[in-house]
Structure 1
Amino acid sequence: MKRKLPKLLMALGAISLALEPAMSQDLANRAFSGKTENPSAYSEQREPLQHALSTLQEYFKVNIIFEDSSIKGCFTSIDVNSLKDLTIEEALAELVSPLGLRYKKVDEKNYIIKAKKVINKVKNEELESIASSYSTIIATPVKGHVTDKKTGEALPGVSISIKGSSLGTTSDVNGDYTIDVPNESSVLVFSFLGYKPVEITVGKNSIINPELDMESHLLNEVQVVEVGYGTQKKEAVAGSVATISNERIKQMPSVNLGTALAGNTPGLIVAQRGGAPGSEDNSILIRSTSLLATPLIVVDGVARTNASYTNQVGINDIDPNDVESVTVLKDIASTSIYGARGANGVILITTKRGKESPAKFNFSSSTTFSQPTKLPKFLDGYQQALLENERAINSGATAAYSDADLEIIRTNSNPDRYAQTNWAEQGLKKFSNGQNYNLNVTGGNDKMKYYLGGGLNQQKSLLKIDNDFKRYSFISNLDAKIAKNLDVSADINYKLESANTPNGGFGGLYGQLFSQSPLQPVTFSNGLPAAFLTSAQNPVYAAQNGGYALTESNFFTGKIKAKYTVPFVKGFSAEGMLSIDRSTVFNKNFSTPFKLYRADANGVYNAVTGVDAKGNDQKPTLSEIFNKSSFNTKNFSLNYNRSFGKHSVAALAMFESTEAYGERLQASRSNIFSNKTDQLFAGDANITNTGLGYETGRAGYIGRLNYSYFGKYYLEGSYRYEGSTNFPEDKRWGFFPSVAGAWRISEEGFLKNNQHFINNLKLRASYGMAGDESGSGYSAYQTGYSVASTGANGYIWNGAYATSVFAGTSTINPNFTWAKVRSYNIGLDFELWKGLLSGEFDVYNKQAYDLLTPMFTSSATVPLSFGAVAPKQNQGKTHTNGFELSLTHRNQITKNWGYYVTGNISKTKTIIDFSGEVAGLPEWDVNRHNELGANVDRFYKSLGLFQNQAEIDAYPVDQDGQKNKTIKPGDIKYADLNGDGILDTKDVYVVDNSTIPVVNYAFNLGTSYKNISVDLAFVGAADYTNNNLAQTWANFDERQLDRWSVDNPDASWPRLSTSGNNTKKSDFYGTDGSYLRLRSVQLNYSLPKMFIQHLGLDAFTVFVQGGNLLTFSKVKFMDPENNNNWGYYGPQRTFAMGLNVKF
């Protein structure tokens, strides 16, 4: 009995500890809940707790999540207005603690209200069980760290209980916990509001680190998305807005952020044109098929540049590892707040910031290998010679190669005369390689939070020479609470880029490699480099000996922002921001002459390049260009956010100004005395130099008002009154308003109470207007000045001769102003079966008018009496129609196995309605010769191939201007579209899908099982014409094998000849450019935490990735995205392997 006494005392102590919260809870309930026994004892005005929490939520701009059952029937007598001087944590504590509730802070924006653990009573039969196991409880502690499965971040406030008992605890602010368990068969239950519960059997584990998945049907209720100059809950967004997460971005093995965005949301069109190191050359558009409609790039709230500008930080200068999310604003109602620069859509890039936690490090490293997705397949030397002979005979000339020559070529018996050169193999490596490293650290407390990161990216080229691209990056984002109501953030971003390429760049050398005959040798048998017979070129030797082109770029961006919360006006705050961009770009081109040789009839090798007319060696030339640019942005705003019962209002008033200025200095010298001395001083005394400068500015008054009623109805109106120096002084200002509304149908009683499978159903509509300054600028109404020499006497100026004048260079239009763009958008968002199926559907129309185009097009002749070129004026018109659909299905089959499938499709087409007056052209052809139609192509209409001479004689259309005397069987037959009997440029028709596909689609799928995950992303395009144009090069490719002959009348290629008839740009060569591409594949394996926790690591993941691995297309000659640019460093197929470590 004595032996049992200590054990019994311990048990009684444990019971008393268990009962204590229950007794305090009971007292709290009696004193403060709506169920008090004597409510008349309190004379204060009481308010439902739910209303009080809603008021705090709106005032502090946070999300407060609670279970209805935990606060049902709870009232508070505390005046919520009295809490406005407190922090959100202090206010919540004062409000909920007296009610027996507690709050937990998830992060800066999310708080959870939960009931405290209550044990109302312990059954008598449990007493012996507790007493018998209490010593075991003390002896078997289990600890661990709870994280969000998706983000890997710690989860504080998670409830951890032992299944079947009332024992439990919660995770602390760092997500850590410790709990005593009775035995190995105990099951721990981890539960957290908004997350799926997880049950884990203890077994022999002393450390258990669970990962919790958020309930997908709750995402809309807590997700906050970036909008112009602020954030909104996803459920409140009325415009067309899409967010791309960091997880999706990192699945593409590319250091180029623009490339990684492809296929992630409908309406965002990313065409990968090239793959040169450091310059993947993407065309990025939003709801447009016009290459002139580039979207605005905004980084951390600051408008930086458009997607194609190179002198300011752009989308390709942001390290994807530092990106938290990317938000795409598609409709004008969402973008008009950015004024003219947002007329073509806006891409908001949000970088990572610090969070309240101990320092957390993240290191990633990867190695990449790249090769072209597609290389042209050219014929060998013998096939080349046979086809050259056929072409010559068909053109009425003598065969280029005799039978003896053909035998030499076939046997390769005289390679100095006739080689068998595969130029791609001679000039290109099988693979290029690269390395990527990134290290970042995040952490902080309630006073200071930080995110610091640095990265190194290095890429080699495919050419068999030592050139590469390097990028060093650094980012620092700091957030500090200076005082109770004052928050300050300071951001720094620095990039240093260095690109070393052959002189002339990659494009020129690629063009030469793919346009040379295989019969030309690279070097002769004596080692001398050979010059082509058709041109004095040799791309292999030029890459190695022709010099270099060096580009060094420095980009610095800095931003400081302060927010003051006005204590005496609830919901009112003021913010100020100053941002600076500084960039310097230095270009150095050093051209070194080299000798190429040809053999004369006597077998003597003579230099045909690298020497002057007297046979002296030529000297190098050097040019240097230095660009310096500065961009400054500052704004000041007043913000108001307040709830009044069921009504919520938010308002923004802002003034913003930006200025940009830059200078350019260029100098060059020739006759540099040595190939080893690449400096300007080493050249001759006659230096060529020039320079220029520019300065622009803009200012805007911005306003936005949001109203919502009961979380069901949302209305938003905004405007921007903007002025720009790009217009004449009295035409600089424009007013651009927008309005949008949303109705959450799923919150209506007739759905919410009856159709439980519908979690979210929202109808959206918007209308907006924006300015457009494409084609404008100071140079548009006053193109600049030049110093002109006037001869010996010069102009008479103020009674005297002036030998030179500072004069304008063109005519001036002082009356042009903003172009206008208006759009309409209707959308539907839905989520069904608790997130099993969700999606969005949008239809839209966009109209642009008063666009700046030349008064007369370049094809028209301005009357001579005018005496100059006509200026631009507001006259162009275009319209764009389209729709977008995205669907997502996610399912968690078991605790360890889940999968997802997403898909999206968009159709958009921009039509040019009017661009300018054109003399002598039919109305349908007006838009061929204008600045609006850069994406428009023109084709002749083909009617097949002539099969015999009788068919040619009977055809009434004169195709060659000689009554078809030069037309032969096998030539292309063209349609006379205007019916005048003559084939000329008036017979072409407009093709508007040869640059950007009209239909773009993508689908992604992935699955995860325990520590393994696989993700695949496909992108595709349709309604796209690829111009498989007739070859005009010195070599033949596999397409010409299916040429017309009497024995092959159904050929896909016309007869071989030098006739210009078959080289016209026509739809005969127009190939269906539709494609489906496996854009990315990623396989991840995370080592079990039981293996790495002893090393002090939070996570260790290895991965392999692939980019552009498979392509399905009818375009066989080149990559379908390459847009017929054969002389170009095309898109790359990439393989990567790497690791990610968190500690």
Structure 2
Amino acid sequence: MKRKLPKLSLVLASLSLVWEPGLAQDAMSKSFTSKGVSETASTQVQREPLQTVFKELENYFKVNIIFEDNSIKGQFTFVEMNDLKQLTIDEALAQIVKPLNLVYKKIDDKNFIIKQKGKKVEVFSELSIKSEIVSDSTHLQVKGRILDASTSEPLPGVTIQLKGSSKGAMTDTNGDYAINIPSERSILVFSFLGFKSKEVTVGQSSTINLALEMDSHVLNEVQVVEVGYGTQKKEAVAGSVATISNKQVQQMPSINLSTALTGNTPGLIVRQRNGTPDSKNETSTVLIRTTSASGYPLIVVDGIPRTSATSSNQVGLDNIDPSDVESVTVLKDIASTAVYGARGANGVILITTKRGKESPTKFNFSTAATFSKPTMYPKFVNGYMQALLENERATNSGSAVPYSDADLEIIKNNSNPDRYGQTNWAEQGLKEFSNGQNYNLNVSGGTDKVKYYLAGGLNQQKSILKIDNDFKRYTFISNLDAKIAKNLNVSADINYRSENSNAPYAGYTSLYSSLFNQSPLQPVTFSNGLPAAFLTSASNPIYQAQNGGYRLAENNYFTGRFKAKLIIPFVKGLSAEGLASIDRSNLFGKDFSTPYKLYRADANGNYNPVTGVDSKGNDLKPTLNESITKANYITMNFSLNYARAFGKHNLGGLFLYESTETKTDAMSAGRTNIFSNNSDQLFAGDASITNNGTASESGRVGYVGRLNYSYSGKYYLEGSFRYEASTNFPIDHRWGFFPSVSGAWRISEEGFIKNKLSFLNDLKLRASYGMAGDENGAGFASYLAAYSVSSNATNSNTGANGYIWNNSYTSSVYAGISSINPNFTWAKVRSYNLGLDFDLWKGMLSGVVDVYHKEAYDLLTPMFSTSATAPLSFGATAPKQNEGKNHTNGIELTLTHRNQVNKSLSYYVSGNISKAKTIIDFSGEALGLPEWDVNRYNGLGPNIDRFYKSLGLFQSQAEIDVWTLDQDGQKNKTIKPGDVKYADLNGDGVLDSKDVYVVDNTYIPIVNYGINLGLSYKRLSLDMAFVGIADYTNNNLKQTWANFDERQLDRWSVDNPNASWPRLSNSSNNSLKSDFYGMDGSYLRLRSAQLTYSVPAKFISRLGIDAFSVYVQGGNLLTFSKVKFMDPETIATSYYGPQKTFAMGLNLKF
């Protein structure tokens, strides 16, 4: 029970209190620096109600803190309670009141008074106080609700100050307020930490509702960011770290988090490779500061390191419902990622899910209906033009034409559709739109003792193919935080996810591609209803999709996480944390292939099946395969954290031990000759069986240390290391040591700048060096000599399952015997980073610049290049060795402009760009290379391809006759006008592989950029995000199909000498991979656009609704590129490419 001072003391104390204007806002714009919580400490600074903080200090220190309840009701402050408890009561109160423009007065050792700073002491009686209150009650009253302009959520703790007076009020947890004013001419000042203040003249309105805009300058001083095993104030971060907010994540209408991150920060490369409903299994390419497609970043969710971004059996980017994400932090330089050791070499993505806050229970419901269609696909010619072009190609090739004049007349008039159809396969096989739906309901709230966040979600996406297949994801998340003792806090989290995919047996990608390889002259069905087989192959993708069987995947994931934090009372600033986490996955797959009959008509008009039957005409039977994979991923860590302020000096430290263990167990079984298409069970098959099973177990342990120091909010220094071992390496070479060091100088805090350059709010110079490991290429037990067992041996000299001994080939059931290198170990990556952060004109212009150099060495490469196997006489696969080297140079720039034009209108413009080039310094070489090809690719980037240099098209036979380069090996006898003309790069007069030139970076672009725009007018807001790439070679621009597309209409002829396509022919000369068909894969894309309307509170508050907004979204709406016949972001046209999406949704908070 709270102890009270004697009545006389209370009266005397009240006589010394005079409250002045400003309340909290002036203070809120100042950060805790020299005497505050350590800027560099790896602890969580939380936003707490001021009244709660005082009460907790009373209980802890056994003192009385006297204050006027109404004066602080609803006020908040940013503190770390555990750190305050390491101070004396005087130090703790001094830290709290200073930024709030308050002071404390010590009556005695047990009693303290909180009063407004700067007011003279006035003597007044209790009667005069009562009179003032009565007088106030006779004045006008203004009420309303204050919202966050960016989220439309209520803002509790906003200060409403009557300008020129000491009178004020605070918004409650619903953002509501009420204040008495003397007249309609009164001016109210609305202010809140991290937001821009607003002044409003009351006028005749008794209700004033406002939405406050964020103030980036103030936020930088108090914002905390994840940095790996802890948090830091943004102002104290010395490494290259970027944070992506929940709002940015929500702007992209996607159920995949990786897609939603596109274009938000430089250095983070996200490319949508396809748009299948279950595309998380073929995830987008996600890279950080590299142009190598093999360097995927580590994913960390709520402090638990997961597997890489491409993993499908653990929690990763595309396994998390974006609605449950609070923020995403990208660690880009190795000084920031070194604490993750070998898994941090390619960057780290930290995902923080939402948690409960101290507030009444709040519900948030969101739903959206989505519609998708391909961004683009090839436009093909009709059947009649197809026949004409095939005849032209045959004539140019000296062959008989496939279609006579009579055939052409039939095709033109569509008079015999069974023989020659007029089929638009895209229209027949694809829907105009595929549809989906997203639902999410969460509930959150709590007290100072227990906080909770629970959420459930459903995401469904159907296929663009005209089949009833879809992908569903069910999610449930529960994050609980509890204070169970004075010095002990715990959290318990549960995350469950169930994913069900029902896909056609042939696969979305295969069917999608097959639709574009069917001739328009091929009918889908004959007039009698029988499905038709293609003329040159027994295929029909539309009928196959509907009748060919299915691939079912039912995957369930469970994650449990428990964390405890103990404040050690006898050492100020010291705390201990323990964490245990388990991920369990159960993956079930069922592939059921059902034979189906396709028909062709013979010369007598009979329709005969060409599929679905054996050579004797007997019906084929279905085939069934099932698989089960179980995996456990266990993480445990224990850490000691220290954070202490000594005057202007701040010291923080971390020491952590972590272990992980992974176990997998898989089995599969299959049956053939299932007796019925309706009996998709293993028992229904015959004795023809296949069974298989595998198991694996791996682990790692690591020790992490971090020490950081800052002085006076100006100078920051941090050092860290990880000492780690992995079972992927030989016993004597498992351990690796990965150190880093970084520092920052806040130039804007120096006396020669601070308060002298009014436009300069923040200027910080950063520098870092770090080293990390890389275990890419070091697979499970790869240091052990092993072999695989094949069910049969081969008798050819190809070496598939055999070896050469004494100059003779020996077949064997023992295949793939591997040799070992007992000395291979970690690859190493080190980086140097120099950065500059600045904020000008109170956030109107801010920016970040980073320049970096990254070196990777001792990379694991086989003794023989993967492009060539070891000789059969070697008798085994090639061992691994630490020989590879590469380096990356890059620069990144972000500029942001924000402006509040007036109380109704605001906007922002943000752009970012990164340029990174990776160079291969040394890589493994294939055996037997000719001298001219040895080390040819060192000094180039990864993902190389080879092209012939084109010189246009031959325009006449005379030009061919004098051309000295032999392009066909026959002195150009087969070369005709309209064929591609090539350059003789090596000057030997013969066109061969020596004449190709090498192009690198054909997979990941060198230049990536993003442009983000936002406009807000009253309750309407528009947000747009553009992404683009440049300096990128697309090596698929020559792609052709069985049928002609519109590009071939601009083919060469005597009448069209400036054509963009060679003459039509069967000549191999025009099929060589060359730069004739274009190589520029650059594009600019409107990745997302969202228009949101927030309904005024006066229309919904009576219904018990706190906030209600509706929105429309679009994804991949516009694309600007030289590539017109395919989506420029896909790898090849056979891919089920990215989708253009539209969504309509609502958010309801109550």
Which residue in the other structure is 1:9 paired with?
none
Provide closer, same or farther for how the CA distance between residues 840 and 1031 of structure 1 changes in structure 2, counting only shifts above 3 A. closer
Q: Distance in 2 between matches of 1:511 and 1:1002?
A: 31
SS of 1:1017's partner is strand
Name 1:856's counterpart in structure 2: 864
Could you say what secondary structure the match of 2:842 adopts? Answer: helix
Q: Distance in 1 between matches of 2:1121 and 2:972?
A: 37
8 Å contact kept, 1:853–1:930:
no
Contact 1:443–1:450 (Cα < 8 Å) also in 2: yes
Q: Structure 2 residue aligned with 1:114, among 79, 101, 110?
A: 101
Give the drift of 1:955: 2.9
Displacement of 1:1074 in angstroms is: 1.1
Closer, same or farther: CA 931–460 of 1 in aligned 2, 3 Å: farther
Of 500, 503, 522, the match for 1:501 = 503
Aligned to 1:36: none
Contact in 1 for aligned 2:869/2:877 (Cα 8 Å): no
Q: Does 1:724 align with 2:726?
A: yes
| Aligned counterpart, 1:1005 | 1013
Contact 1:854 1:930 (C-alpha < 8 Å) held by counterparts: no
The one of 1117, 1130, 1134 equivalent to 2:1137 is 1130
Q: Give secondary structure in 1 for the equivalent of 2:1117.
A: strand
1:984 CA displacement: 2.4
Distance 1:586 1:476 in 2: 25
- Aligned: 1:907 with 2:915: yes
Mapping of 1:610-759 within 5 angstroms?
610-759=612-761
Matches within 5 A, 1:779-928: 779-782=781-784, 784-787=786-789, 809-859=817-867, 862=870, 865-921=873-929, 925=933
- State the alpha-carbon separation in 2 of the partners of residues 65 and 517 from structure 1: 65
Q: Which residue of 2 aligns with 1:450?
A: 452
The alpha-carbon distance between structure 1 residues 604 and 788, as it changes in their structure 2 partners (threshold 3 A), is: closer
1:981 equivalenced with 2:952 (yes/no): no
Structure 1 residue 936 displacement after superposition: 2.2
| Aligned mate of 1:340, from 331, 339, 342 | 342
What do the CA deviations read for 1:162-193 (whole angstroms, capped 9, x no partner)? 34544333345665544334455654333345
1:827 and 1:1021 map into 2 onto residues whose CA distance is 23
Measure the CA separation in 2 of the matches of 1:60 and 1:1080. 35
Note if 1:1053 corresponds to 2:1061. yes
Conserved? CA contact 1:275–1:1131, under 8 Å: yes
Question: What residue identity is the alignment partner of 2:1129?
Answer: E
Using the TM superposition, give the Cα deviation of residue 149 of structure 1 relative to its aligned residue in structure 2, in angstroms: 3.5
Shift of 1:917: 3.2
The separation in 2 between residues aligned to 1:282 and 1:26, in whole angstroms, is 61
Asked if 2 retains the 8 angstrom alpha-carbon contact of 1:107 and 1:356, the reply is no
Q: Contact (CA 8 Å) 2:34, 2:712: kept in 1 or not? A: no
The number of equivalent residue pairs is 1078
Q: Secondary structure of 2:717's match? A: strand
Native 8 Å contact 1:102 1:113 kept in 2: no
Task: Report the more deviating stretch, 526-535 or 158-167.
Answer: 158-167
Q: Distance in 2 between matches of 1:322 and 1:50?
A: 30
Q: Residue by residue, what CA displacement relative to the aligned partner does 1:371-406 show, whole Å, maximum 9, x if unpaired?
A: 110011011111111111111111121111111111
Amino acid in the other structure paired with 2:191: S
Farther-moved stretch of structure 1 (361-370 vs 165-174): 165-174
In the TM superposition, 1:943-982 aligns within 5 A as 943-982=951-990
Tell me if the contact between 2:490 and 2:563 (Cα under 8 Å) persists in the aligned partners: yes
Partner of 1:310: 312
Alignment check: 8 A CA contact 2:845 2:895 kept = yes
Q: Residue deviations 1:328-369, cap 9 Å, x none?
A: 011111111101111111110000000000001110011011
**For 2:712 and 2:78, how far apart are their aligned partners in 1?**
25
Q: Deviations over 1:114-137 (max 9, x none)?
A: 33569869999xx99x99995783
Q: Match for residue 379 of structure 1?
A: 381
CA distance in 2, matches of 1:309, 1:50: 41
Matched ranges for 1:191-590 at <5 A? 191-200=191-200, 202=202, 208-279=208-279, 281-590=283-592
- Where 2:958 maps in the other structure, the secondary structure is helix
Q: CA deviation at 1:1068?
A: 1.5
Q: 2: distance between equivalents of 1:649 and 1:1136?
A: 49
Q: Structure 2 vs 1, CA of residues 173 and 537 (structure 1 numbering), >3 Å: closer, same or farther?
A: closer
The question of whether the paired residues in 1 share the 8 Å contact of 2:37 and 2:80 is answered with no
- Look up the match of 1:1037: 1045
TM-score (norm 1): 0.89
Structure 1, 849-858 or 952-961: larger mean CA deviation: 952-961
SS in 2 for 1:781: coil
- Superimposed CA distance per residue, residues 525-554 of structure 1 (whole angstroms, 9 cap, x where no aligned partner): 111110001100000111111111111111
Deviation of 1:874 after TM superposition, in Å, equals 1.0
- Aligned identity (percent) is 68
In structure 1, the gaps of 5 or more residues are 1-18, 29-48, 67-82, 796-802
Alpha-carbon separation, structure 1, partners of 2:869 and 2:34: 74
In the alignment, what sits opposite 2:17?
Answer: 25
Q: For 1:653 and 1:727, locate their aligned partners in 2 and report how far apart those are by CA, in whole Å.
A: 25
Shift of 1:954: 2.9
CA drift of 1:742 comes to 0.8
Please state how far the C-alpha of 1:968 moved relative to its aligned partner. 2.2
Question: How far 1:484 moved relative to its partner?
Answer: 0.6
Matched-pair contact (CA < 8 Å) for 2:463–2:469: yes
1:777 maps to: 779
How far did 1:219 drift? Answer: 1.5
Match status 1:54 vs 2:36: yes
> In 2, Cα distance between the equivalents of 1:84 and 1:570?
20
Q: 1: CA distance between counterparts of 2:994 and 2:237?
A: 49
Which TM-score applies when normalising by structure 2?
0.88
1:780 to partner: Cα distance = 3.0
Q: Distance in 2 between matches of 1:166 and 1:711?
A: 32
Residue type matched to 1:234 in 2? K
TM-aligned CA deviation for residue 762 of structure 1? 0.7
How far apart, in 2, do the equivalents of 1:26 and 1:354 lie? 36
Cα distance, 1:782 vs structure 2: 2.8
Q: Is the contact made by 1:174 and 1:357 (CA closer than 8 Å) also made in structure 2?
A: no
Q: 1:73 maps to which residue?
A: none
CA 1:536–1:448 in structure 2 vs 1: closer, same or farther (change >3 Å)? Answer: same
Contact preservation (8 Å) 2:153, 2:1107: no
**Contact 1:1071 / 1:1115 at 8 angstroms: preserved in 2?**
no
3-state DSSP of counterpart to 2:890? strand
Given that 2:34 and 2:649 are in contact with CA atoms closer than 8 Å, whether structure 1 keeps it comes out as: no
Cα gap change, 1:1011 to 1:501, in 2 (>3 Å): same
The answer to which of 1108-1117 and 102-111 deviates more is 102-111
Taking structure 1 as reference, are residues 1114 and 790 closer, same or farther at Cα in structure 2, changes over 3 Å only?
closer
Q: CA deviation at 1:268?
A: 0.5
- Report the CA distance between 1:86 and its aligned residue: 7.1
What's the secondary structure of 2:853's corresponding residue? strand
In the superposition, relative to structure 1, how do residues 424 and 242 fare at CA in structure 2: closer, same or farther (>3 Å)? same
How much has 1:321 moved relative to structure 2? 0.6
* Residue correspondence of structure 1 range 161-176 to structure 2 within 5 A: 161-163=161-163, 165-172=165-172, 175-176=175-176
Q: Which amino acid aligns with 2:15?
A: M
Shift of 1:786: 3.4
Deviations 1:1085-1128 (A, max 9, x none): 111101111001110101011111111111011011012x1122
Change (3 A) 1:837 1:974: same
Amino acid at match of 2:849: F
User: Match for residue 106 of structure 2?
Assistant: none
CA contact (8 A) 2:589 2:628 kept: yes
Task: Work out the CA distance in 2 between the residues paired with 1:1069 and 1:194.
Answer: 54
Give me the whole-angstrom Cα distance separating, in 2, the residues matched to 1:1016 and 1:333. 33
Query: What SS does the corresponding residue of 1:746 show, helix, strand or coil?
Result: helix
Residue in structure 1 matching 2:76, options 88, 99, 105: 105
Output the CA distance in 1 between the equivalents of 2:245 and 2:749.
27
Give the 3 Å change call, closer, same or farther, for CA 730–1140 of structure 1 in structure 2.
same
Instruction: Please tell me the residue identity of whatever aligns with 1:453.
Output: A
